[in-house]
Structure 1
Amino acid sequence: MAIATVNPATGETLQTFEPLSDEAVEERIARAAAAFDSYRLTTPQQRAVWLRAAADVLDADAKSVAELMTTEMGKTLASAQAEVGKCAKALRYYAEHGEQMLQPQPADAQAVGAVEAYVVHQPLGVVLAVMPWNFPLWQVMRFAAPALMAGNVGLLKHASNVPQTALYLEELFRKAGFPDDVFQTLLIGSGAVERVLRDDRVVAATLTGSNAAGQAVATVAGDALKKTVLELGGSDPFIVMPSADLDRAAEVAVTARCQNNGQSCIAAKRFFVHADVAEEFTRLFAEKMAALTVGDPMDEGTKVGPLATESGREDVERYMADAVEKGATVVTGGKRVDRPGWFYEPTLVTEVTPEMGIWSEEVFGPVAALHTVADLDEAIRLANEHVYGLGSNLWSEDQGERLRFIRDIQSGMAFVNGMTTSYPELPFGGVKQSGYGRELTEVGMYEFCNAKTVWIGPPSSQQGEGDTAAAASE
């Protein structure tokens, strides 16, 4: 894929970029490594000042940055504005709480025969971030805010269709006052990632993206014995039981499926509805899906914009054709919108079976697949049969059902009477083929820290022979 800004609402190529040469990449890695040598010695208090400044810059740039994201990948302007606000919130969250997160954590010194014992979390070094286009600011900020607060240095390889957003992120941290080269954007293709990751000066990597991309990065990192955090695909279940508020559940289901024009790893994609309420829920769901306004993402009234790429829409059409051919029923939607750009109708499909690709694969578009179940046990069993385990949703007022869902669903996140989303205050990540590791809160910060054990013994004059013998036996 060329490194270019292509407006998905029109199909027009607005700007193209030359990828960095090997020599330029080498120079940037060298600069990042040199920056880490001094940046790691800055205090958490100083880093917090820079993070707050970055949030202020984002606030000032909110309108232009939101318009840039909408132009590059097609999310509605309202969604883009909310994304900018969420990023500013994350920056301020780590500015406020990061210093406390990085305080030494005391251990039981007496139990280990020490005068003092504790754990310190120290930065690892230069971290490569390989990020997708669907939340072009937020995906990066989930990594950047905690990593920079911890004292790490970042190299960003962003998706090739959001180059201007990628360049803005480098500018953002520079304008906020961070030292030179602490955060750099690499305009490179996917084929250049392995060379960067294998460089000895790059100590770890984080990737959000497809399973194929995750496998490629994990393979290289494993061969080089480097730490990785992977957030990969998702096909989140959305389970509706008879005790649920059906109207509210249907309303949230539409948002959960069509957020970001249906292009979200944590979007609800598979809907398991109890037979007792399936007919009513399907009616409500279909009505609300059909009422969504599809159009120019810059327009205030638009609820669903275009898919980000032409190939993405072709993938959705392929899944739909396969499902219909194998017996699925299209309740609403089901085809592209007749206008320039890569638009697709919000779609609800029922009578979905395991033979269809839409059952077992992630559909990255506003297409919901609904299946009727006899009880919660069946819903959980079907949900867990999938290779992914990112988020999950249950709608129920029954406490027993809630507890069973939380206990038995195989996912990194479980949301009851709400849709899966991300917060700086909560860990974010999945299990199974949805990846490993966590982002956000202190857990995400510690992913790229060395949890260093510190043991301080008594003066030599106070140590007996027994202490020496005990230590030698370990």
Structure 2
Amino acid sequence: MPYDTVNPANGQVEYSLELMDAAAVEQRLAAAAQAFPGWAATPLEQRGALLRKVGAQLREQRDAIQRVMTAEMGKLRKEALAELDKCAAACDYYAEHAAEYLREQAVVTDAQRSYVRYEPLGCVLAVMPWNFPIWQVFRFLAPALMAGNVALLKHASNVPRCADAIRKVLADAGVPDGVFDVLHIDNDQAAEVLRDARVAAVTLTGSERAGRSIAANAGGQLKKCVMELGGSDAFVVLDDADLDATVAAAVKSRFDNAGQTCIAAKRFVVVEAIADEFVRRFVAAAAERRLGDPQDEATTLAPMARQDLRDELHKQVQASVAKGATPLLGCEPERGSHAGYPASILDQVAPGMPAYDEELFGPVAAILRVADEAEAVRVANDTTFGLGGSVWTADRARGERVACQLQCGAAFVNAIVKSDVRLPFGGIKRSGFGRELAEHGIHEFMNIKSVYVA
């Protein structure tokens, strides 16, 4: 059965693709199973050298891959290039640090010798989203390959050529056949692949609904899984915040990538003493974001990735307004744009509204006014999600104290929440479980083995 990918900027069909049949899927599963023993036995230095070549290929092919990213999911050219550079840097990072992270660790016990060693699990199925179509993959792939695992990628249906571009990068770098491949399959087929005995584990970045389905399947098979799901990050503005810096960061965090970022600031929790001034400046700065051709360097707001996603976001906005939220900017689909939604701000957001209770996965900011610091912490934590959060204040010690009270996987003070290959990344509550990146990320898909020699 074929499916089309549609350019979100103009509505034109970019690509038509046939789903793989059972024979094609079996071929790739068999190749992965065959490749695993040899790849796991490949010396770490050789795996690292290949991963550095992967990074070099990403840099060499960045312009071509950027055009595919922009055509398939609408990412601004400059944002796509930055994403590709980040992927290349992650490859270099794990090539450099894997030996440190995977070294045997001696432990003093009653034995003559005892230690902990790390061994790869096997084939990992990666179910990945469209919003960062290259980075989301490499965030998992670089550490997984350095660990000695092999991988199969089931990418989002609207970015199939991004998936193929990743496969080409690895092939051009000389990564052996079967170590990484792409499955152009639907969700039902992915569930069958996960049930296959040759698949050892699964990682998913996506919606809560997708996470529940994949995690239930993995649990039924007693297979390791890592879930990076949605977020509704709080951006806490205290009464002593530097508003110039805070507003600039608020605009960037909410509207980059058309707001389609799990760790984007979505709920702006602002202490009442400075709320009016913050909101005035925020509206003025956000109004400068302009939709347009994502290939044009002058465009400062990308379209949303699909028209149906834009329509769903608008329903959330309308429902919030119907329940009392005040639209201050935007809040109507962009005329003449296939999937465009303008930079939008809702004020007076309260519990019971979608803008308060749900994730707004698009360029809409929700203003939540609070009386003081204590209420700011309470409101920031009043969510089913727990991915990230940030605190903005002139007092670093105060900011750190508040950050440590936020119920989330990453809390930043006077900085936008972002993934950093040097820090573990992941959430709590309904934002998922497990960690990617840093030392923690490479250990997620390994057998942590205790060896005891009496």
Q: TM-score, normalised by structure 1?
A: 0.94
| Contact 2:124–2:149 under 8 Å retained in 1 | yes
Q: 1:294 aligns with which of 291, 296, 304?
A: 291
Residue 40 of structure 1 aligns with an amino acid whose one-letter code is A
- Whether contact under 8 Å (1:5, 1:164) holds in the other structure is no
Match of 1:338 among 332, 335, 360: 335
Retained in 2: the 8 A contact 1:354–1:360?
A: yes
| Cα deviation 1:292-341 (Å, max 9, x = unaligned) | 12111110011111100111010111011111212211111111111132
- Is 2:6 aligned against 1:6? yes
SS in 2 for 1:244: coil
Q: Deviations over 1:206-253 (max 9, x none)?
A: 000000100000001001000000000000000001111111101100
- Is contact 2:207-2:230 (8 Å) kept? yes
The answer to whether structure 1 residue 231 and structure 2 residue 231 are counterparts is: no
Alignment of 1:23-422 (within 5 A): 23-108=23-108, 112-422=109-419
Percent of residue pairs bearing the same amino acid type: 46
SS at match of 1:421: coil
Deviations 1:54-87 (A, max 9, x none): 0111111011111110111001000000000000
| Paired AA for residue 72 in structure 1 | E
Q: 1:432 is aligned with what amino acid?
A: K
Shift of 1:365: 0.8
Q: Offset at 1:403? A: 3.5
Residues 270 and 368 in structure 2, CA contact (< 8 A), matched pair in contact too: yes
Shift in Å, 1:5: 2.5
Amino acid at match of 2:412: F
Equivalent-residue separation in structure 2 for 1:133 and 1:420 (angstroms): 20
The DSSP-based 3-state class of the residue aligned with 2:273 is: coil
Q: Report if aligned partners of 1:376, 1:401 keep a CA contact under 8 Å in 2.
A: no
- Looking at structure 2, the residues matched to 10 and 229 of structure 1 have their Cα atoms a distance apart, in angstroms, of 35
Matches of 2:373 and 2:423, distance apart in 1: 26
- Tell me how far apart the structure 2 counterparts of residues 2 and 103 of structure 1 sit (CA, whole Å): 47
**CA distance in 2: counterparts of 1:237 and 1:340, whole angstroms:** 30
- For 1:428 and 1:449, the matched residues in 2 are separated by 17
Task: Please give the per-residue CA displacement for 1:148-183, whole angstroms capped at 9, x wherever unaligned.
Answer: 000000000000000000011111111111111100
2:390 and 2:403 in contact (8 A); partners too:
no
Contact 2:404 2:411 in 1 (8 A): no
Return the alpha-carbon distance in structure 2 between the equivalents of residues 2 and 389 of structure 1: 37
Amino acid at match of 1:429: G
Question: Aligned with 1:173: secondary structure?
Answer: helix
Equivalent-residue separation in structure 1 for 2:72 and 2:373 (angstroms): 41
Task: Compare 410-419 and 321-330 and name the one that shifted more.
Answer: 321-330
Q: Is the 8 A contact 1:236 1:268 kept in 2?
A: yes
Which has the greater radius of gyration? 1
Q: Tell whether the 8 Å contact from 1:253 to 1:268 is kept in structure 2 after alignment.
A: yes
CA contact (8 A) 1:4 1:163 kept: no
User: Which ranges in structure 2 are unaligned for 5 or more consecutive residues?
Assistant: none
Q: Is the 8 A contact 1:2 1:160 kept in 2?
A: no
Paired position in structure 2 for 1:466? none
Shift of 1:143: 0.4
Is the 8 Å Cα contact of residues 427 and 433 (structure 2) preserved in structure 1?
A: yes
Number of residues of Structure 1 aligned to a counterpart in Structure 2: 454
In 2, the alpha carbon distance for the partners of 1:96 and 1:38 equals 21
Name the amino acid aligned to 2:53: A
Give the whole-Å Cα distance in 2 for the aligned partners of 1:384 and 1:243. Answer: 21
Q: Which amino acid aligns with 2:345?
A: L
Q: Per the alignment, in what secondary structure is the counterpart of residue 13 of structure 2?
A: strand
One-letter amino acid of the structure 2 residue matched with residue 326 of structure 1: K
Q: Deviations over 1:350-380 (max 9, x none)?
A: 0111121111101111000001111111111
Deviation at 1:105, TM superposition (A): 1.1
Shift of 1:2: 6.0
The separation in 2 between residues aligned to 1:57 and 1:183, in whole angstroms, is 15
User: What are structure 1's unaligned runs of at least 5 residues?
Assistant: 458-474
